[in-house]
Copies of this chain bind each other. A is one copy, B any other.
Amino acid sequence: MAVYTHLGAEDLARLIAEYDVGELTSAKGIAEGISNSNWLIETSRGRYILTMYERRIDTAQLPFFLGLLDHLAANGCAVPATIHDRSGAGFRQFDGKAVALIEFLPGVSPTEPTAGQAEAVGAALAKVHLAAQDFGMDRANDLAPADTLAVLEKCGEDALAGIDPALPDILPRARALVAGWPTDLPRSVIHSDLFPDNVLMLGSKVSGMIDFYFACNDAMAYDLAVTHAAWCFPGGTFAPELGKALVSGYEKVRPLGEDEREALPLLAQGACQRFVASRAEDWLDTPADAHVLRKDPMDFVRRWDFYAEKGAEAFS
C-alpha cells in the first residue's frame, strides 16, 4: 500500500496529454499495490488508474500482462482494459520507469465475502479461463511448487523455526508435493492470485478483477484451488458454504473434469505452499520494527493441514 514516487500535477498533466483521454482534472495517489505506485486520475472524459511500476515486475513482461487485460476485456471479462497512448503503446517510460493507464472500474473488495459473492467470483474466474485460451502469449509460472520449495529451502530450517517452531515441518511435505505434482491437467492463462483484495464487487456482482501481475500459463484447476484457499477461510476457519458456492459458480461456466476435481485437494496444498513461502520470505526480509504488517505464514500452514486432512471432502 503505497505511493513510492511523487509526481507533481504538471508531470501528470504532461503524461496524460500523451493519451487521448481529455484534460487532467484530478489526481489522487491511492494506497493500493504492493509493487507499484497508483493514482486515481480524472479527466474531462472519464476516470482511470495510472500505474507506475516500481519493482518486482520485469517490464519485459508488461506486454503479456497488459495484452492479457485487453484480450480479456475484449472478450467480456470484468477486467480493466489498457488505455493505449496516442502512438498505440500500452505502456510508456516516464521519469525512468514504466507507466500504464488503465480503465477505472467501480466496485469495492469484500472483506467478509458472502456465498453469493463467492459464487460470482467462481463464475468470473471460469470466464477468464475460457476467454484466455486463445490469448496468443505465454508466461511460465515462476511460483510453481518446485519454485516455492526452493524459496523455503533458501530461507533455511533455522530461520523458518525462528518464525514458528512448527514451520520447518513443511519442508518434507513440500518435497512430497513437488514429487507428486500433476502436470497433465487442462491449462489456460490463470490469474493465480485472486484474493478478495483483487476483486471489485457491486453487491454480488463482480465488477472487476485486478492485479494480474502473477498471471501465467498453468492448470485452470490450480487457479480455482488458489481462489478457494484465498476466499474460504474467514477468520481462519473453513466456511463450507463459501467453498461450495465458489466451485458451483465456477462449474456453471466451466464444468471441471474428473481429473481436475480429483486433483483439487493436492492443488490447494500447492497454493498454500506458495503463500507460506512468500510470507516466510517477506517475514525474514522485513525487520520486526519496520512498522510494516508482516503476514503470518502459519495461517496458510493451517489451511494446508486442512486440505491434507480433509482431501476431497474439502471440495464436496
A residues sitting closer than 8 Å to B (CB atoms) are: 1-3, 8-13, 24-32, 40, 42, 106-112, 200-202
Q: Are A111 and B3 in contact (CB under 8 A)?
A: no
Residue numbers in B under 8 Å from A108 (CB-CB): 9, 12-13, 24-27
Residue numbers in B under 8 Å from A27 (CB-CB): 108
Q: In the complex, A182 Cα to B109 Cα: how many Å?
A: 54
Q: In the complex, A1 Cα to B5 Cα: how many Å?
A: 12
Q: In the complex, A265 Cα to B3 Cα: how many Å?
A: 38
Q: Are B3 and A1 in contact (CB under 8 A)?
A: yes
Q: Are B31 and A106 in contact (CB under 8 A)?
A: no
Q: Are B110 and A10 in contact (CB under 8 A)?
A: yes
Q: In the complex, A255 Cα to B24 Cα: how many Å?
A: 34
Q: Are A28 and B28 in contact (CB under 8 A)?
A: yes
Known contacts A28-B31, A29-B32; decide if A8 and B42 are in contact (CB<8 Å): no
Q: Are A42 and B106 in contact (CB under 8 A)?
A: yes
Give chain B nearest CB distance to A239 CB in angstroms. 15
Further 8 A-B residue pairs, CB within 8 A, beyond A25-B107, A26-B106, A30-B30: A2-B31, A11-B111, A12-B108, A13-B108, A24-B108, A25-B106, A25-B202, A29-B32
Q: Are A9 and B109 in contact (CB under 8 A)?
A: yes
Give chain B nearest CB distance to A198 CB in angstroms. 13
Give chain B nearest CB distance to A176 CB in angstroms. 37
Q: Could you list 20 examples of A-B contacts with CB < 8 Å?
A: A1-B29, A2-B31, A8-B110, A9-B109, A10-B111, A11-B111, A24-B108, A25-B106, A25-B107, A26-B107, A26-B200, A27-B108, A28-B28, A28-B30, A28-B32, A29-B31, A29-B32, A30-B31, A40-B40, A42-B106
